[in-house]
Amino acid sequence: LEAISKCYFLCHFLPCNLYFIIFHLLFFFSSAEPVDVLKALDFQSSPEGIRKTPGFCTVRKGSKPDVAYRVAKNAQISAPTKQLFPGVFPEDFSILFTIKPKAGLQSFLLSVYNQQGIQQLGVEVGRAPVFLYEDQHGKPAPEEYPLFRSINLADGKWHRVAISVEKKSVTIFVDCKKKVTKPLKRSDQAVINTEGITVFGTRILDDEVFEVSLNFQKRSKKEEIERRQ
């Protein structure tokens, strides 16, 4: 699917919603079924730190109002990545979400770690959104992560966002308008490992150890720096 068609789908067919309040968080692939992350993480059951709240569209003719989810700082939601993405994670993909962050916020929306605790994929929203990506060869380097300095999502308003990864570039759409395309200096045939864990709303703390029925440990910041040298 072309990135612009995915953004059109987001703006015209998805119910409007999300803030840190969040309504929809979807992964789209050209060769696989889309993944509804909130459904996969069972947001409907209102886990700790998550509560239902009115969405962007509180009045809809002929249908119920939108229901979003307010994500508190104490929310700790994670799952084995294979639970969300049971097959091979496609090389090209799009992430679509509607969000209303607290004004001035800078926070992780989603982080995907491999078995060694390396963050392979992440979306940071706020005053300057960041797209984190690290393939099986450690590319791109952290200093080359796409940073969208000209975009501010943390203005206290609702925003529909689409991030499209295709070949060696990443494009961000905000409110159905193409904003910025950045190079993504990843390897040829880049791979995202699905044997680790996916964390919602935060990233694993520097010295924290995560255990979810698999051999998974998060490196400390010091260890990660030493690994990159």
Is the dihedral angle over the CA atoms 87, 112, 202, 129 positive or is it negative? negative
Burial profile 195-208: b = 16 or more Cβ within 10 angstroms, e = fewer: ebbbbbbbbbeeee
- Tokens 């991030």 correspond to 163
Q: For residue range 30-66, what is the model confidence (pLDDT) as tens digits?
A: 878 899 999 999 888 888 888 888 766 666 666 777 7
Q: How far apart are CA 89 and CA 32, in angstroms?
A: 9
pTM over 0.85: no
Q: For residue range 70-107, what is the model confidence (pLDDT) as tens digits?
A: 888 777 789 999 999 998 999 999 999 988 888 888 88
User: Which residue, among 209, 221, 220, has the nearest Cα to 78 in the 3D structure?
Assistant: 209
Q: Encoding tokens for residue 200?
A: 């919602």
Phi–psi pair at 12, nearest 5 degrees: -110, -15
Question: Taking the CB of residue 213, how many other CB atoms lie within 10 A of it?
Answer: 6
DSSP string, 79-115: EEHHHH--SPPPSSEEEEEEE-PPTT-EEEEEEEE-T
In contact, 192 and 89? CB cutoff 8 Å: yes
Please tell me which residue, 64 or 211, carries the higher pLDDT value: 64
Domains of the chain from N-terminus onward: 3-228 (2.60.120.200)
